[in-house]
Amino acid sequence: NNKKISIAIDGPAAAGKSTIAKITAEKLSYIYVDTGAMYRAITYKALKSQIDIQNEKEIEQLLLETSIELKPSNSGQLVFLDGEDVTEKIREEQVTNLVSTIAASGPVREEMVYRQQQLGKDGGVVMDGRDIGTKVLPHAELKIFMLASVDVRAERRHLENTRKGYSSNLEKLKEEIELRDKLDSEREISPLRKAEDAVEIDTSFLSIEEVAAEIYALAQERMEDK
């Protein structure tokens, strides 16, 4: 079956979106777009260039001068900022703590949504983020809203950090996730919200394989309908 659909996966931090989106894209030979990585990349650049983030003109100028590329690799997706591999750097705490503020800015959202829509314009894409089903790909054939309890999400991130050999504090992680969820849900422009036609999946008690299988089955259904 070669009818290419678009799949939007939204939800709060560490619900399992990118893990599942990557697997789904691989299974279907679709493009995977991690939109969070794009917001992280521009945040990293804003930190490095020490611009005044309250100043919209400075932010607009920065956006004009910024190229962000997402490239698939064996070890997952690589993120390039102006040609430099920043895959690891954009996950650092400093970036994580500022990203929701930068992502709330009007010019930043406008530009990122435009770039994401360009990447998704031909279909055959799995995109994950916060506003994919509501704003970036409102006509996506399959929309998923992925949830998990905050305790489970913090625990998963903690495990992930520990596995990678990073220092990690469970309580701090939980606070960081709760704060980011709050900022992302309460911002004015395209807040984190379940699209009306999204399928909700609570992954709190599901394995990665179970979630991936459920989404794959839904994708097959939507392809038949197309």
Q: Which residue, 84 or 208, is less far from ligand CDP as judged by CB? A: 208
Check if the beta carbon of residue 37 is closer than 8 Å to that of residue 90: yes
Check if the beta carbon of residue 8 is closer than 8 Å to that of residue 132: yes
The CA distance from 209 to 121, in Å, is: 29
- DSSP class of residue 191? -
- Angle between helices 56-64 and 106-120 in degrees, nearest 10: 30
| Residue 78 near ligand CDP by CB under 6 A | no
| Residue 108 near ligand CDP by CB under 6 A | no
Q: Which residue, 192 or 219, is less far from ligand CDP as judged by CB? A: 192
**By CB under 6 A, how many residues form the interface with ligand CDP?**
29
- Give backbone dihedrals phi and psi of 72, rounded to 5 degrees, phi first: -70, 145
Q: Is 18 annotated as a binding residue?
A: yes
- DSSP class of residue 197? T
How many residues are listed for the chain in this entry?
226
Q: Is 96 annotated as a binding residue?
A: no
**Binding residues among 2-61 for ligand CDP as defined by CB under 6 A:** 11, 13-19, 35-36, 39-40
Q: Which residue, 141 or 184, is less far from ligand CDP as judged by CB? A: 184
DSSP 67-83: -EEEEEETTEEEEEETT
Stretch that binds ligand CDP, among 64-72, 80-88, 97-105, 137-145 (CB under 6 A): 97-105
Which residues, at least 6 apart from 28, have a Cβ–Cβ distance to it below 8 Å? 124, 126, 216, 219
Q: Which residue is nearest to ligand CDP (CB)?
A: 36
| Residue 130 near ligand CDP by CB under 6 A | yes
Q: How far is the CB of 169 from ligand CDP (least distance, A)?
A: 16
Check if the beta carbon of residue 70 is closer than 8 Å to that of residue 37: yes
Q: Which residue, 131 or 141, is less far from ligand CDP as judged by CB? A: 131
Q: Which residue, 45 or 130, is less far from ligand CDP as judged by CB? A: 130
Count of H-run helices and E-run strands, the chain: 8, 8
The CA distance from 29 to 17, in Å, is: 18
Stretch that binds ligand CDP, among 50-58, 59-67, 76-84, 129-137 (CB under 6 A): 129-137
- Two tokens, residue 182: 């709050």
Residues of each annotated binding site: 11-19
Residues of each annotated binding site for ATP: 11-19
Chain residues binding ligand CDP by CB under 6 A are: 11, 13-19, 35-36, 39-40, 99-100, 103, 129-132, 156-157, 160, 180, 184, 203, 206-208, 211
